[in-house]
Each structure stands twice: as C-alpha cells, then as structure tokens.
Amino acid sequence: MKEYILSAQNICRDFKIGDGSTVHALKNINIDIEKGKLTILRGRSGSGKTTLINILGALDRPTSGSVVFGGRDITKLSDKKRDDLRRSEMAFVFQSVALMSGLTAYENVEFGLRLAKYPYDKRKERVTRVMADVGLEKRMHHRPSEMSGGEQQRTAIARAIAHEPELVFADEPTAELDTASALNVVRLFKELVAQRGMTIVMTTHDPSMMDIADRVYTLEDGEIVE
C-alpha cells in the first residue's frame, strides 16, 4: 500500500500585482507525495512549479487549500512553528547554490547542522559521512570557488540533507549544470531515495530527467494535467 508523507488539497495561490489585477498562479491543485520516492514537478517556465514547491515546503502559504504533513494542516500553523518544522524535518536545494564563499565545503555542511541544532559531538562524524555520500570526500577542504559547479551543487545537497530530513525539496537543482553534472545530481537523489529512504520532490523543465522519477506531475498554467 502506498504511504503518503504529504498531501496538498485544493491549493490555489493568487498574487495581486501592481496594477491591481490578480494572477491565479495555482488553480485547485491536488497532489500526494509518496514516502520514500522521487517525485518530479515539471512544466514550462511560468507554469507554477516554484509557487507550488514553496507552498509544499512551508516557505509560502496558499490563498486557499491545505497541506497535510504529519497528520496536520501545516498551512494553519504559526510562522514560528512552520520555521521549526522546516528546519528540523525538511530541506531545500535551490537552483543557484548559496554556499558561503569564505567557508570550506566541510564548514558549509557543518554550519547547516548547527542551524538544525544537530548534537555537537556528532557533527564531525555526520559531515564526513554525508560528504562521502555525495562523493566529495576529497573536496571537503575546498572553498566553493575551488570546486566545479556540479561539486558545489553536491555540497549544497550535502548541507541540505546532513540533518537527515524526512523530506527534501529541490527547485531546479540542475538548471545551472551541464548535462553530465545534472545527471550526477539526479542519480545522487535516486540513491538517497533508494538507500536512505528519503522522500524527494524536485522541479525541472528538463525532459531527460523524467525516466528516473517514481512519479511525475505536469503543471500547465497553474493546473495539474495528466
């Protein structure tokens, strides 16, 4: 039987813009995210992928509808509770890698653990482990400027998953990479799903990524199409 970690029900998101008109960025979206699987949200530029993933991951609130995670509607929680939830149980990877330039790969990942309040005495072991998981044990003491784009993105992924979140959201994590590095990142996601039982939701508009997903949802003009 399928087990869902997160369900979005009747999600609408309107944006009011400067001239007083309204953009209906999401229109009555229903999706279920299966636990321990890789789900892809695809669609053209402007179709609503970022708007949707931000709502699923509690970075934004819908205009109406609910997002059920851990048995409760997280759209109704206070900002503080949502921040806590995000920090402890979720993780985000973005298109442009936001590593701290003055810190090494190791220090960037350790910083993530500090934010997640990961036990101090377990951090060293955990950073070493997760850097090996993403295939960067030999790059731990490099600064971002001393790594390739793909290595930087894998460092960002290591930082995102170091605290062992249940649910990882990645918004176009491969958009700035060449094809080979992009495939490496997606293969890494597949491994994390298969070996660590992680649940990953990622957006992309790259058709070559679809084969590796367990489930693909296609967005068109703010709606899910089959």
Q: Which residues bind ligand ATP (CB under 6 A)?
A: 15, 17, 23, 25, 43, 45-51, 205
The owner of tokens 């053209």 is 44
| Token reading at 19 | 């001239």
Q: Which is nearer to ligand ATP, 53 or 109 (CB)?
A: 53
| Nearest approach, Cβ of residue 14 and ligand ATP (Å) | 9
CA distance linking residue 96 with residue 101, whole number of Å = 13
| Nearest approach, Cβ of residue 45 and ligand ATP (Å) | 3
Q: Which is nearer to ligand ATP, 12 or 116 (CB)?
A: 12
Please, is 42 exposed, middle or buried when counting C-beta atoms within 10 Å of its C-beta (0-12, 13-18, 19+)? buried
Q: With CB under 5 A as the contact rule, which of the stretches 9-17, 49-57, 67-75, 132-140 interacts with Mg ion?
A: 49-57
Under the criterion CB under 5 A, does residue 204 sit at the interface with Mg ion? no
CA distance linking residue 218 with residue 163, whole number of Å = 30
Kindly report the number of other CB atoms within 10 A of residue 8's CB atom. 22
Q: Which is nearer to ligand ATP, 25 or 130 (CB)?
A: 25
Q: With CB under 5 A as the contact rule, which of the stretches 45-53, 58-66, 96-104, 131-139 interacts with Mg ion?
A: 45-53
| Nearest approach, Cβ of residue 4 and ligand ATP (Å) | 23
Amino acid making up residue 130: V
| Nearest approach, Cβ of residue 52 and ligand ATP (Å) | 7
Q: Which is nearer to Mg ion, 50 or 174 (CB)?
A: 50
222 within 8 A of 27, measured Cβ to Cβ = yes
| Nearest approach, Cβ of residue 93 and ligand ATP (Å) | 14
Q: Which is nearer to Mg ion, 50 or 199 (CB)?
A: 50
Q: Which is nearer to Mg ion, 162 or 182 (CB)?
A: 182
Pick one of 50, 152, 153, 174: the residue that binds Mg ion (CB under 5 A).
Answer: 50
| Token reading at 208 | 């070559």
Kindly report the number of other CB atoms within 10 A of residue 183's CB atom. 17
| Token reading at 218 | 């296609």
CA distance linking residue 68 with residue 81, whole number of Å = 14
Q: With CB under 5 A as the contact rule, which of the stretches 41-49, 69-77, 131-139, 216-224 interacts with Mg ion?
A: 41-49
Classify residue 142 as left (phi > 0), alpha (psi -120 to 50) or beta.
beta
| Nearest approach, Cβ of residue 60 and Mg ion (Å) | 12
Please, is 96 exposed, middle or buried when counting C-beta atoms within 10 Å of its C-beta (0-12, 13-18, 19+)? exposed
Binding interface with Mg ion (CB under 5 A): 49-50
